[in-house]
Every structure is written in structure tokens, then in C-alpha cells.
Amino acid sequence: MPATTPALTSQSQTLNALHAHHAQLETAVAAGAVAVRNAAERLVDVTPHRAALVELLQSQVLPHAAAEESTLYGVGAALPATRLLVQAMTAEHRRLEALVGELAQARTSVGVAGAAMAVRALFEAHLAKENDQLLPALVIDGVDLASLLEGMHDILGADADGAPKQNGGCGCGNCGCGGGGEQPVSWSVQAGDLDVRQLPPALRHEKIFAVVAQLAPGDSFVLANDHDPQPLRYQLDAEQPGQISWEYLDHGPSLWRVQIGRSA
């Protein structure tokens, strides 16, 4: 087997970043749509859940789509193998924008829930086309994705060097160090942490939500996970708006620790 070249490694890393960001967005949109639907089915106010989902769509999903059109789709539209696919996917972006508008303006709970689930269905189908058809076709055609998408945070969900997005401070993920020059060392799992790394993915959220449900106002716990649990945050914010606090204690690359609490 030939040795892996830096270019191939960079291409692979870029694809991995794209797929990971797609998965994160898909999970967040699904959680938000389900929260809206559940509220409508329980006959409770859907307004906070709708607001959280619209915010997610307007601040992350639609900018992601716009960035794709200016990069991936621009290249794909010039290639015979992907020209028609890109045209169809661009039309899906316009439909997604329209659905976000319908979601924001719907007047009844049934209308809000219907628009939310329509957004979810369209977005999931769209991402499947991108992951399974467009990206492989661009790679086969020799497109250098790493160079094309360098520094494109809205697409990669990462800083220009490929590191996960940080949340302020010194860049370590709100470590509290005040932004000093030295990079903090990684923390380790502490006694009392809710460590879900060994649980099957299907059971992780079930376990976490069970602990969250038992929190009294002012109480908190520390979650230890092997990836950034940001989609969980979207789901908690959608289902319990204004009730849950979230603070990163350690931000990767192999261990994330987050203090999750119930607001007093």
C-alpha cells in the first residue's frame, strides 16, 4: 500500500469534519423539531420551543447552507457529473428557507409542529444527498476540499486549524484560566462525574435526561463524554428553555466535561 500523503490526510480530515458537523446539525434540528411536536401533542405552549428551533436554523443551518453554495456548490455546478445534483440541492436550500419562514410565522400549534417536522425531514434528506452523493463525487473529480474549505467555520464547524470550536476564554473551552498564554493541560474524569463514555450511544441520552430530571433548582452535575455534547444542549434548551445551565470544564480532544445544572 502506498504511504498516506499529507494531501490525502488533509482531504480525509476535511471530510471527517464535514460529516461530523452535519451529524451535529442534524441531531440539533431533530431535537428541536421533536420538542416542538411534543409540546403541541401535550397541548402546552410551543412558543419557546419554536423560538429555540428558529434561532438554531437562522444562526447555524441557513448560514451553513449559504456557505456551501459559495464553495462546494460553486465547484459542483461546473462539473458535468454533479451539475444537476447541485441544481436540485440549491432548490432544496430555497425550500428550506421558505419552511423556516413558515415555522416562524405559523399561528397554530398544529401549524408550528407541521412546519418543524417538515424542516427536519427536508434537512435530513438533504444532508444524506450531500454526504452520500455530492461529496464523494467531488472527491472522485479531484476537488481539493481542504483548500476549498480552509477556514470555513460555517461548513466545517471548526476553527481554521481544524480544532473544535471554542467558547471563549483562552480557547480551551471556558476553562476559567482567563486567557493566559499557556495552553491548559487536559483534565481527567473526576470522582462523581457522570461518565457515559462506555454506554452505547442509544442509552447515553436516556441516562443523562434521567439525571437532569432529578435536579433540584441550584443543583448540578458534571457530564464526561468522548465528544462534544453540544446537540444535547440544544435539546435541553428546546425542551426546558431557560432552566438549564451549561459550562464547559474541559473541551476535548478526547474528553469533554460539562457542568450541567438547573437554574435556581
What DSSP letter does each residue of 73-112 carry, written as one string? HHHHTTSTTTHHHHHHHHHHHHHHHHHHHHHHH--SHHHH
Distance CA 101, CA 110 (A): 16
Residue 170 has what pLDDT? Answer: 33
What the block records as the C-alpha cell of 116 is 418543524
Residue 83: what residue type?
R
Each residue's pLDDT, cut to its tens digit, for the chain (264 residues) gives 444 445 556 888 888 888 888 988 888 898 889 889 988 998 989 999 999 999 999 999 999 999 999 999 999 999 999 999 999 999 999 999 999 999 999 999 999 999 999 999 999 999 999 999 999 999 999 999 988 988 787 788 744 344 434 333 333 333 333 333 333 333 467 778 898 888 877 678 888 988 998 999 999 999 998 888 888 888 888 888 889 999 998 887 778 899 999 987
Residue 204 has what pLDDT? Answer: 81
Residue 7 has what pLDDT? Answer: 54
Distance CA 196, CA 102 (A): 38
Residue 122 has what pLDDT? Answer: 95
List the strands of the sheet with 220-225, edge to edge.
194-195, 220-225, 256-262, 244-251
Q: For residue 188, give the 3-state DSSP assignment.
A: coil
232 in Cβ contact with 212 (< 8 Å): no
Q: Which fold has domain 194-262?
A: Translation Initiation Factor IF3 (3.30.110)
Residue 5 has what pLDDT? Answer: 47
Torsion sign across C-alpha atoms 158, 164, 167, 171: negative
Residue 235 has what pLDDT? Answer: 82
What the block records as the C-alpha cell of 202 is 442509544
Contacts for 211 with CB less than 8 Å, ≥ 6 apart: 194, 221
Residue 205 has what pLDDT? Answer: 81
239 in Cβ contact with 231 (< 8 Å): no
